[in-house]
């Protein structure tokens, strides 16, 4: 390991320590917000996002750029984002006013941290229940979209490595069809710099791109194909752009490309 590699490891270790210290402090000092309503909880989430982005920039040299802000509509919309890292879970909160995540129920069981989801009016589902979980999401989504809020969904259901084959699930198409809402696709390349299941935090610039809205009216199958095409095309372009600036990132993409593709969901 050369000097650059050693510094990458040391900076990543320091950041991870500071990241979790910051999270614990915010979660504990923010507990009164649980009794102060949804926006108080959302503001704490945004504070977590801002402080985390500042920390990773200062400690690791990881910057970010946002494109397509003009594509974000006012009011109700389904926000369907590529999911490669924990980074986008807090970064997205900085750009939407009144959001709700679809998240796995198990997260609500985490002491202290999980206590924020109910007062924050997030949608927690039991993914093992299949179609009944989809119906639960659709019912909750109709109510919050009727209030002019934004629904965050990760179409692949979980984090996927940068460069991994796409693995889009039917759930987002079910919600799109059931609610008749617009959908805002989001592409990004966060996994090149803040990869899942890795403590390394690489220097560089994450790019998150808000793409033109998909209007209601498509069939679920048409919608899912259009969503995947838009997100994957833009994500591939962002990955290529990053590798052109830093060729060492090609190894990250190559490793991600080895990821197994989960069984596809074919209902429509």
Is 251 a residue whose pLDDT tops 70?
A: yes
pTM over 0.75: yes
Q: Do the beta carbons of residue 168 and residue 221 sit within 8 Å?
A: no
Question: Cβ of 121: how many Cβ atoms within 10 Å?
Answer: 19
Q: How far is CA 35 from the centre of its chain?
A: 26
Q: Do the beta carbons of residue 46 and residue 152 sit within 8 Å?
A: no
Q: Do the beta carbons of residue 170 and residue 263 sit within 8 Å?
A: no
Taking the domains of the chain in order of start, what are their residue ranges? 3-257
Is 260 a residue whose pLDDT tops 70?
A: no
- With cut-offs at 50, 70 and 90, classify the pLDDT of residue 266: very low
Mean pLDDT of the chain: 91
Is 132 a residue whose pLDDT tops 80?
A: no
Residue found under tokens 């679920």:
220
Give the pLDDT score at 267. Answer: 40
Is 215 a residue whose pLDDT tops 60?
A: yes
Give the pLDDT score at 49. Answer: 96
Domain 3-257, architecture per CATH:
3-Layer(aba) Sandwich (3.40)
pLDDT digits (tens, 9 = 90+) for 143-170: 999 999 999 999 998 899 999 999 999 9
Give the pLDDT score at 158. Answer: 87
């Amino acid at each position: 390991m050369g000097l650059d590699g050693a510094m990458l490891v040391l900076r990543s270790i320091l950041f991870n320590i500071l990241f979790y210290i910051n999270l614990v402090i915010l979660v504990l000092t923010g507990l009164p917000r649980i009794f102060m309503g949804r926006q108080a909880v959302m503001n704490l989430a945004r504070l977590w996002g801002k402080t985390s982005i500042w920390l990773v920039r200062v400690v690791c040299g990881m910057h970010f750029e946002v494109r397509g802000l003009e594509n974000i509509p006012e009011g109700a919309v389904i926000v369907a984002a590529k999911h490669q890292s924990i980074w986008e879970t807090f970064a997205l909160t900085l750009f939407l006013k009144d959001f709700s995540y679809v998240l796995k129920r198990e997260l609500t069981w985490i002491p202290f941290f999980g206590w924020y989801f109910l007062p924050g009016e997030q949608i927690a589902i039991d993914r093992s229940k299949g179609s009944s979980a989809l119906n639960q999401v659709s019912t909750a989504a109709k109510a919050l979209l009727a209030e002019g809020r934004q629904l965050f969904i990760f179409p692949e259901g979980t984090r996927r490595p940068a460069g991994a084959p796409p693995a889009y699930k039917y759930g987002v198409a079910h919600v799109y069809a059931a609610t008749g809402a617009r959908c805002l696709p989001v592409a990004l390349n966060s996994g090149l710099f803040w990869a899942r299941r890795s403590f390394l935090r690489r220097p560089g610039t994450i790019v998150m791109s808000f793409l033109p809205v998909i209007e209601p009216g498509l069939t679920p199958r048409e919608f899912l194909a259009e969503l995947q095409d838009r997100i994957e095309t833009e994500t591939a372009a962002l990955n290529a752009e990053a590798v052109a600036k830093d060729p060492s990132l090609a190894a990250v993409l190559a490793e991600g490309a080895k990821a197994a593709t989960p069984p596809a969901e074919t209902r429509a």
